[in-house]
Structure 1
């Protein structure tokens, strides 16, 4: 969406694909009547949730939670991730009878998703996730939101012909072999309730430090890894942010924009991977409103914290106290001032 404006060579082209994106009410507020892109004005806050593909009999979990803040001048985007294991107060949710609970934030979507008869609605789950993130950050209302299917990301990267990324640390895949096939589970871990933390065995795909052109499966596998990394999920959050920026740069490249066949594939893949709520505005409206923001205008921000240990057992993550000042800077559109005083919040964008 951030790079949508530059991808638009004509509104007719984008209108052709806008209907391919599933547009639903993700915030439970009934939406608003669109006045066109002209009334999309900064500052803006956009909530993104990344999920694995699941059918409606499984409760969804948001493995990635990302907030994008757009400056009042509509010329800069700040991207920050909420740790999936962050312990927060998930508020009550009348639609499911959920009474509220203090637990890891990635449980919010599951707690809000039940629609009865063993079925789950990911869009209803997003509503509770948004309420939880609002409560955490103090952002009263998000201007747009999207649920991103990780499998769809792979299709977008493949449609672009791969993505060039700088890998900033050596990473071994927990899930895949060097040929991209899934690693098998050990016999002990195949038993029900085995409790294996790392059930997979055999050779592992490895990603070495350096700049590489990755295929879709490689890029998706790389940004999903956290086991074995020095800072675990915090390293993974950084890699995911770097991936988003690299994807934007690749999408804006002449190799994609001026190639009608490749552009056609990219737009179709994007349509299949998103559920979007633009607050009453279409994807086209948002793409045109944000046409002045390119990949070079995206700043990656990291929230740091540490584990909560009770009676020798890991309970989840907690953020450093200064995060409350950062959230205030987001609400007041004063992020540059905050980053000048707290440069440790800047993430590497290599």
Structure 2
């Protein structure tokens, strides 16, 4: 028998590739691990290597979810925008409507009309010039009282320029004549027109689940009382609120202020997280806008999307309310009570609108 010392037998190497690199988890100064230690280390290593895979899988799922939600919103927005009724006759001269340059203000004429069952000779119940500032940080809502005594350009009903209440322009020549009258009054070119009728207004406030406004004074109309302070209104109730003037201290001035505050509240609610984060409600609101709004042909889906994505405000705080100036009240030869335009004040307002200086105008004329 040979006395030659034998080399210690070598343990067979594990063929499992998951065992590779186990030495990374051992201290080189320690004794070789027994089989229990090896098994424990193997399970630990496998768990550690699974965490990156789990994280990547979760990240991928999150990305797919976000993409899916964005796709849904994009499709909802595109679908609603495509459904909006467009009327090439809303503007007085469509050839004059040119793409608005970047950094320049955009002037929208917003008209709420009294088109509804049982009413003939519809008039613009509310008339607002909404100017989006060149920097896209503010939207100025400038109300023009429906009884302002202005010059209405010659039209098919009245063949020559004539003095009348501004809302008569809508009954004589619709949106186009109203805009022509507003341009003559202000000397400012209007870019787009947006019309919503009473049924549409009711549907919109209902779909939003009501809007909250601060009511400066208590009033009653048709047996319904609106308390002073913060109130939430919707549907027929909201319509009564914006139409009342006889029970208000300053009549039409207060009604115009109410209309601006409700429009601001609608914008605020439409841009709120409660609407944006709820796909069903978001789509419902978009559908109501689409079904009950008429815009000029220049407000294409692409143009609306471009304007919307340029906005630099995301709540009603970016909306500024302004009242076009009047200097008093008068009565026409045929007995019509009307509001007298403040000529000097209108000239100042016109200059601010033309030069994108509404911030200065508001600072000099606190509302």
1:262 to 272, 281, 285: 281
1:155 aligns with 2:218: no
Question: Which one of 176, 179, 198 corresponds to residue 130 of structure 1?
Answer: 179
Q: State the secondary structure of the residue aligned to 1:19.
A: helix
Q: Could you tell me the TM-score, scaled by structure 1's length?
A: 0.76
Structure 1 position 265, deviation (Å): 1.6
Q: Identify the range of structure 1 (48-57 vs 300-309) with the bigger mean alpha-carbon deviation.
A: 48-57
Partner of 1:285: 306
Q: CA deviation at 1:310?
A: 5.8
Structure 2 residue 249 is matched with structure 1 residue 230: yes
- Matched residue, 1:67: 129
Tell me, in whole angstroms, the C-alpha distance in 2 between the residues paired with 1:327 and 1:296: 24
**Secondary structure at 1:63 match in 2:** strand
Which of residues 131, 145, 161 is equivalent to 1:83?
145
Larger mean Cα displacement after TM superposition, 280-289 or 218-227: 280-289
The structure that has the greater radius of gyration is 2
Match of 1:300 in 2: 321
Separation in 1 of the partners of 2:256 and 2:166? 15
Contact 1:159 1:265 in 2 (8 A): yes
Alignment of 1:78-117 (within 5 A): 78-93=140-155, 98-112=159-173
How far residue 32 of structure 1 moved from its aligned partner, in angstroms, is 7.9
Q: How many residues align?
A: 293
Q: How does 1:119-268 map to 2 (within 5 A)?
A: 125-139=174-188, 141-173=189-221, 176=222, 204-268=223-287
Cα contact 1:40–1:289 (8 A) shared by 2: no
Cα 1:213–1:54 change in 2 (3 A) is closer
Asked if structure 2 preserves the Cα contact closer than 8 Å seen for 1:170 and 1:207, the reply is yes
Q: 1:289 and 1:8, CA in 2 relative to 1: closer, same or farther beyond 3 A?
A: farther
Q: Could you tell me which of 84, 87, 97 is aligned with 1:21?
A: 84
What's the counterpart of residue 317 of structure 1?
Answer: 339
1:19 and 1:281 mapped to 2: Cα distance?
8
Residue number in structure 1 paired with 2:60: none
> What per-residue deviation string (whole Å, max 9, x for no partner) do you get for residues 31-50 of structure 1?
58998xx9665211111111
> How far, CA to CA, are the matches of 1:33 and 1:87 in structure 2?
27
User: Which residue number in structure 2 is paired with residue 332 of structure 1?
Assistant: 355
Q: Specify the SS of the correspondent of 2:127.
A: strand
| Deviation (angstroms), 1:162 | 1.2
TM-score by length of 2: 0.73
Q: For structure 1, which runs of at least 5 residues remain unmatched after alignment?
A: 1-6, 113-124, 177-203
What is the alpha-carbon distance in structure 2 between the residues aligned to residue 22 and residue 69 of structure 1?
22
Distance 2:220 2:118 in 1: 32
TM-aligned CA distance change 1:280 to 1:248, over 3 Å: closer
Give ranges in structure 2 of 5+ residues lacking alignment. 1-69
TM superposition shift of 1:164? 1.4
* Residues 241-295 of structure 1, C-alpha deviations (whole Å, 9 max, x = no match): 0001111111112211111121222111111221112635333333333364531
More helix by share: 2
